[in-house]
Structures are given as C-alpha cells and as structure tokens.
Amino acid sequence: MTSEAERKMQFLFALRSRGVTDARVLDAMEKVDRGPFVKGLFAERAYEDMPLPIACGQTISQPSVVGLMTQALKVTPRDKVLEVGTGSGYQAAILAHLARRVYTVDRYKRLVNEARAIFDAQDITNITVFTADGSHGLPDQAPFDRILVTAAAEDPPGPLLAQLKIGGIMVVPVGQSDAVQSLIRVTRSETGYEYDELRPVRFVPLLEGLGKE
Ligand code: SAH
C-alpha cells in the first residue's frame, strides 16, 4: 500500500515530467484532491495520470492535460473565467484556486448537480455551475478574461470568441471528434484574434443542445 504522501508525490512528479511547470498551477493541483471527482469502479485510479470514465458517458480529463491547459490559459487572480464542459468539476475546482470567479456549464444536468455537490462539500464558493449548451457561452455573465473549453469543437465557437475580453485568452481543442485534435490558444487583441497551436489532444465532442440525463 502506498501512503498518501507518496501518492501525492508521484502525482506531482507525473505532472512535472509531462511539462506542467507553472508553480501556481502545480500548487492548485496539489490542493485539489481528484479522488472525490472520480466515482465508483474507477475511484481507486484517481491518482493515476489517465483520463477516466464519469457519468453520462463522459470523461474526467488526464491530470497532466488539465495542468497543461490550465498553464496555457495564464489565469491571474483577478480573472473571471468561463469553462465549457464541467464534466466531473475537477478542472473547475483547479481554476477556482487561481481565478477570482469561475462559471462552468455542462449540457448534462446530472453532471452539473454532482459537481455542485462536491463544490459545496469542499466550501469552494467562487464557482457557479449552469446546465446549458455552452457553445453559446453565457451572455448574461460575459465578457470573460479567460475561456477554457474542455470538449472538442470543429472550430472555436463564434459566441465564445465574441464573449472574450480584449486581452483575453481562450484555450480550446479543435478538430473532428473521432480524430486527434489540436489544442489551440486564442488571444484577443484590439485588432482581432491570434491563434497558436499548442499540442495534439483527444477530447469528447462539443455537442449541441442539452443531454438527456
Ligand atoms: N472538464 C471536465 C472534463 C470534461 S469532459 C472535468 O474536469 O472533468 C467534456 C464535457 O463537456 C462533458 O461533460 C460534456 O457533457 C460536456 N459538453 C459537451 N458539449 C457541451 C456543450 N455544448 N455545452 C456544455 N457542455 C458540453
């Protein structure tokens, strides 16, 4: 049996060895226990660096990918952040340690309710969770300093580009759902949008409308 301290050390070592080097991101990931976000059969694998199945046929992302995406987003303590694709709520909990306020949306009510229950239980008070089709963004809360999309779109959705502040950053996996996608960072300037291609990734697709559960 490995001790909790050893498990944590291995978890952080895996993150570092895969390129997560930002001290604030590593600190946030050390503080957020992935265990409660993984339920049932796979709970015992929560501290391994791999994606795992969650309810509604979705997945909790691989921790090193969560770290790399968070790092690419360059979140500051003043930021208002939108996450599209709450899933388990793990990524949102990490963002909540780094940002002023986090809004997160998922198309499955069940995932939204489960994530909200974990945030409440852990006294994380700066996250608001909505059931909605996040490809339209959240017009009532816009604009955002940072937007993180954790499902793959064929193109960065127009409403999300429009809801990004000038100087804002969006990180989004782009590509067909059955192929390897590219993680893209979009930076909005006074004059337009700049696109950087960061790395290949694999995410579940960004789908239209609400889920059934
Ligand atoms: N960030 C999550 C992992 C997300 S998996 C975590 O930390 O666990 C991708 C999620 O995106 C799924 O839960 C899926 O339901 C959601 N999703 C897909 N299309 C969506 C849409 N149009 N609007 C909101 N959520 C969407």
Residues with CB under 6 A from ligand 1: 58-61, 84-85, 87-88, 90-91, 105-108, 111, 133-135, 150-151, 204, 206-207, 211
- Distance (angstroms) between ligand 1 centre and the Cα of 111 equals 9
Alpha-carbon distance of 105 to 147, in angstroms, equals 11
Alpha-carbon distance of 77 to 50, in angstroms, equals 28
Residues paired with residue 153 on neighbouring β-strands, in sequence order: 174
- Distance (angstroms) between ligand 1 centre and the Cα of 77 equals 24
pTM for the predicted model, two decimal places? 0.97
pLDDT in tens, 75-114: 999 999 999 999 999 999 999 999 999 999 999 999 999 9
pLDDT in tens, 148-205: 999 999 999 999 999 999 999 999 999 987 788 999 999 999 999 999 999 999 999 9
Closest CA to 166 of 143, 186, 189: 189
